[in-house]
Chains A and B, each alone.
Chain A
Amino acid sequence: MALDQSYVGRTYPPTAPYEVGREKIREFAEAIGDPSPAYTDPEAARAFGHPDVVAPPTFVFAITYKAAGIVVSDPELGLDFSRVVHGDQKFAYTRPVRAGDRLTVVSTIESIKSLAGNEILDIRGEVSDEAGEHVVTAWTKLVARAAGEDGEA
């Protein structure tokens, strides 16, 4: 069933602040096997000009994807999440995420397309810090694969 086009442009309320912890950044860096001291050593981060350890570039996805959940699970939109795969992902950074940040996300549905039975949803997440300054924008393309025998794997 095609998703309702009237949802294009819909913006959802800001999320509650996510507080970025040094140990969470360390855990994430270890999970991708990245030993860069910029992620774990405040002195090394300061040598690069940052006030505290910074997060790897893709760390913020954990926050924006959770925020996108409000879109994905919106019962009125009617997306079948069990058939959803991640199509594209893009980030544009004003500055890196760093320890101590309190980040909020505002999610907007940028487009809804239907292609060969697949529903393609583009969600933009604008991430801001406590001062309301822009940190990063994340664009996430989700594809709900067509149900039925002719659906592509």
Chain B
Amino acid sequence: MATEIRYDEVEAGTELAPQTFPVDRATLVRYAGASGDFNPIHWNERFAREVGLPDVIAHGMFTMGSAIRLVTDWVGDPAAVEEYGVRFTKPVVVPDDGVGAVIEVTAKVAAKLDDNRVRVDLTAVSAGQKVLGRAQAVVRLS
């Protein structure tokens, strides 16, 4: 494994390039098919409201899978990600209004660890709400 980022060139506080991920109902239908998660709260507005949600919500795993792209785009080799964890704090609400939702993700190197590894902390926000908590990845650099 050879990442495009070298451990020696990275400092605690180094920011990764932020990214914005648009989500509409078609995104969720595609993700449902690809992931096998057909829970109707992710595509059926009537069902979502019946179980107390404001509207259809995105799969938490879609948000988690999108957010880590900041890291994998940064390092090049996806195998550099050795650990990745998140808490799902708020749902990403996806209205059927022709626009949908947006997930804004930022990330920075929070700490340099041993063995050329760093801890990257991520934040993900949608509609002004933090949708991921304690989002951290341990990444091995060259």
A interface, CB within 8 angstroms of B:
24, 27-28, 30-34, 36, 38-39, 48-50, 54, 56-59, 61-62, 65-66, 82, 85-93, 95-96, 139, 151, 153
Contacts and interface: CB of A to CB of B under 8 A. Distances in A.
Nearest to B88: A86
B66 interface: yes
Contacts of A86: 60-61, 88
Given A32-B31, A38-B77, A50-B79, A61 B86 contact: no
A56 B134 CA distance: 20
A90 B64 CA distance: 10
B61 A91 contact: no
Contact of A31 (B2, B33, B52): B33
A89 B85 contact: yes
Contact of B31 (A31, A38, A57, A89): A31
Contact of A88 (B2, B34, B81, B88): B88
B31 A49 contact: no
Nearest to A86: B60
A62 B36 contact: yes
Interface of B: 1-2, 21, 27, 30-31, 33-37, 51-53, 60-62, 64-66, 68-69, 72-73, 76-79, 81-88, 134
Contact of B61 (A34, A54, A58, A95): A58
24 contacts: A30-B30, A31-B30, A31-B34, A32-B31, A36-B72, A48-B76, A48-B77, A57-B65, A57-B78, A57-B84, A58-B64, A58-B65, A59-B65, A61-B35, A86-B61, A86-B88, A87-B87, A88-B85, A89-B60, A90-B83, A92-B82, A92-B83, A93-B82, A93-B83
Contact of A39 (B35, B51, B78, B134): B78
A91 B79 CA distance: 12
B66 to A, nearest CB: 6
A147 to B, nearest CB: 11
B35 A153 contact: no
Nearest to A139: B85
Contact of A54 (B51, B79, B134): B79
B82 to A, nearest CB: 6
Contacts of B82: 92-93
Nearest to B23: A33
A60 to B, nearest CB: 11
A15 to B, nearest CB: 14
Contacts of B88: 85-89
Given A38-B78, A57-B81, A92-B82, A49 B1 contact: yes
